[in-house]
């Protein structure tokens, strides 16, 4: 993805989804947004719940939709872009999960419910439930696109963690290529057509079947110039693990394989990839390893999740970034070990073609190399700056910058290292800790704004 200046954009963020009524994070405030912005988070994955959007067939709760839209608008003021999805787990509340309304739950278990959806079986009003879902998306996106923060939306994720139905013969959480290339591909084609017919031009990030990258996805490349791909990765070992568990090390080869399969698939399709969920528990050694792996592959990510929300279905007991959900986000009300694992220096915008990134946690040394030449299909604005976030958490006493091929133009204590390179130059940047200074936080030098942000594009 590149921004309006032609710079490659990388996002670090969090998932913020409330799965039960009121179906949005009603306790999230400007205090939380300020906390996230100060830790260098530039993205949030937020969700609509179908049961909240369409409580009765063909009848939309616009008051609820406006609350999610207002949530996006609030995040926009703090420079936090959003990936917006329709969220579900295990289909619906009656199946032990969340997402679909009761009137669209036609089967005896969640796999039957999914099959009814792929078959577009009819609801009580005679209209297919998949047709209802697509119409609900179209209604939501029209309201979203008319809102003040429409340009803040990074992209749309049409359906969280789809499962194949009973007719597929595929067990849950296993690859199912015939389903992905068949019913799921056809469904996404209909969603894409509906969103574009409604006038929406955001990047669309479909997900493959939930399967941890055991095999590469089988979704086709769509004939749409604004497509991406989003995926989730959860190491089973860490689902009940805590930080520094010896079991964490067993995740690493599986993560390399699974994340590698997903990223290679997106590369073959020539679309940007985004890691939309990982972590779940406080296995912070592995959280750090996943952040490092995604960053090395130059993949944007959002971690599951900001709140613990123990009352929500299909959540993990140790998830969440906050100590107490009932209190606003702050340094005092945050899990310090988790913040240490996921808050790292990283390039937020690269004025050129990135080549490599690494962060050595033992020495707190970050290195970045890139060529000051636009990626194919983009055009760099004259004087476009590369911007690297430098967290005060990692560099409390300041930092040193060594740059080859570029000139640093930011202040020595700035939360961002900004540099301008000679067009075409090979740039190498190194950031190391200092001892006799102080790194400022983003909101020490930047004021929130109500101005709409330009949309990212690729």
- Position 454 scores a pLDDT of 39
**Per-residue pLDDT tens for 137-166?**
999 999 999 999 999 999 999 999 999 999
CB neighbour burial string for 309-343, b if at least 16 within 10 angstroms, e if fewer = beebbebbebbbbbeebeebbeeebbbebbebbbb
Q: What is the pLDDT of residue 91?
A: 97
Q: What is the DSSP string of 225-293?
A: SSB-EEEE---GGGGG--TT-GGGGGGHHHHHHHHHHHHHHHHHHT--EEEEE-B-SS-HHHHHHHHHH
pLDDT of residue 249: 66
Mean pLDDT calculated for residue range 180-186: 97
pLDDT in the model for residue 389? 98
Which three-class secondary structure state does DSSP give residue 162?
coil
Judge residue 269's burial from the number of C-beta atoms within 10 Å of its C-beta, 0-12 exposed, 13-18 middle, 19 or more buried: middle
Q: Taking the domains of the chain in order of start, what are their residue ranges?
A: 8-343, 348-445
The class (CATH top level) of 348-445 is mainly beta
Please say if the pLDDT value at position 241 is more than 90.
no
C-alpha dist (Å) from residue 303 to 15, 18, 23, 47: 6, 15, 19, 14
User: How many alpha carbons lie under 13 Å from residue 308 in its C-beta half-sphere?
Assistant: 16
Sign of the dihedral defined by the CA atoms of residues 278, 282, 286, 288, in that order? positive
Rounded to whole angstroms, the Cα distance separating 247 from 225 reads 42
Residue-wise pLDDT for 314-344, tens only, equals 998 889 999 999 999 999 999 999 999 999 9
Residue showing tokens 């050694």: 285
Confidence of residue 458 (pLDDT cuts 50, 70, 90): very low
Q: What is the pLDDT of residue 451?
A: 44
Average pLDDT, the chain: 94
Give the containing element (helix H, strand E) for 45: strand 43-49
At residue 187, the 3 state secondary structure works out as helix
Is the distance from CB of 174 to CB of 211 less than 8 angstroms?
yes
Segment 33-62 shows an average pLDDT of 98
Please state the rounded mean pLDDT for residues 3-29. Answer: 97
Specify the CATH number of the domain 8-343.
3.20.20.80
**Strand extents, DSSP E, 88-235:** 153-157, 203-204, 229-232
pLDDT digits (tens, 9 = 90+) for 404-434: 999 999 999 999 999 999 999 999 999 999 9
> For residue 46, what pLDDT band results from cuts at 50, 70 and 90?
very high
Measure CA 176 to chain center: 24
* pLDDT for residue 243: 62
| Residue 255 pLDDT > 60 | yes
Nearest to 358 by CA among 274, 450, 455, 291: 291
- The β-bridge partners of 368 are 357, 429
Query: Among the listed ranges 116-120, 234-238, 403-407, which one has the minimum average pLDDT value?
Result: 234-238
333 Cβ neighbours under 8 A, 6+ residues apart = 322, 323, 324, 327
Report the relative pairing of strands 353-360 and 365-371 from DSSP bridges.
antiparallel
Residue 111's region, left for phi above 0, alpha for psi from -120 to 50, else beta, is alpha
pLDDT at 242: 64
State whether residue 321 is helix, strand or coil: coil
């Amino acid at each position: 993805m590149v921004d309006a200046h032609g710079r490659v954009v990388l996002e670090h963020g969090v998932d913020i989804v409330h799965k039960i009524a009121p179906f949005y994070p009603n306790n999230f405030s400007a205090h939380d947004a300020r906390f996230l912005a100060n830790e260098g988070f530039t993205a949030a994955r937020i969700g609509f719940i179908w049961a909240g959007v369409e409580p009765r067939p063909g009848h939309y709760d616009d008051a609820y939709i406006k609350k999610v839209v207002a949530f996006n608008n609030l995040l926009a003021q703090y420079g936090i872009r959003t990936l917006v999805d329709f969220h579900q787990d295990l289909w619906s509340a009656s199946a032990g999960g969340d997402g679909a309304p009761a009137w669209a739950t036609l089967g005896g278990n969640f796999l039957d419910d999914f099959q009814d959806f792929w078959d577009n079986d009819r609801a009580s009003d005679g209209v297919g439930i998949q047709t209802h879902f697509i119409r609900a998306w179209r209604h939501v996106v029209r309201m979203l696109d008319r809102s003040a923060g429409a340009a803040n939306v990074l992209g749309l994720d049409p359906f969280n963690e789809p499962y194949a139905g009973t007719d597929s013969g595929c067990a849950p959480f296993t690859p199912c290529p015939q389903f992905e290339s068949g019913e799921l591909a056809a469904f996404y084609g209909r969603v894409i057509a509906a969103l574009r017919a409604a006038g929406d031009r955001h990047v669309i990030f479909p997900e493959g079947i939930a399967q941890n990258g055991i095999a590469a996805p089988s979704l086709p490349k769509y004939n749409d110039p604004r497509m991406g791909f989003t995926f989730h990765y959860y190491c089973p070992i860490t689902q009940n693990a805590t930080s520094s568990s010896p079991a964490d090390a067993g995740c690493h080869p599986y993560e390399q394989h699974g994340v590698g399969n997903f990223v290679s698939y997106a590369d073959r399709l020539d679309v940007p990839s985004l890691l939309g969920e990982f972590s779940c528990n406080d296995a912070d050694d592995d959280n750090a390893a996943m952040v490092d792996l995604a960053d090395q592959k130059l993949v944007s990510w959002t971690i599951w999740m900001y709140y613990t929300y123990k009352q929500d279905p299909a959540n993990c007991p140790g998830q969440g970034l906050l100590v107490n959900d009932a209190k606003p986000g702050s340094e005092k009300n945050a899990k310090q070990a988790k913040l240490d694992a996921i808050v790292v220096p990283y390039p937020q915008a690269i004025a050129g073609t990135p080549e490599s990134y690494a962060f050595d946690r033992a020495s707190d040394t970050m290195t970045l190399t890139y060529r000051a030449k636009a990626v194919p299909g983009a055009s760099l604005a004259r004087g476009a700056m590369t911007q690297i976030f430098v967290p005060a958490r990692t560099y409390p006493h300041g930092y040193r910058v060594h740059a080859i091929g570029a000139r640093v133009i930011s202040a020595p204590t700035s939360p961002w290292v900004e540099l301008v390179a000679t067009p075409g130059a090979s740039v190498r940047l190194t950031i190391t800790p200092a001892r006799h200074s102080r790194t400022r936080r983003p909101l020490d030098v930047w004021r929130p704004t109500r101005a709409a942000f330009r949309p990212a594009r690729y």
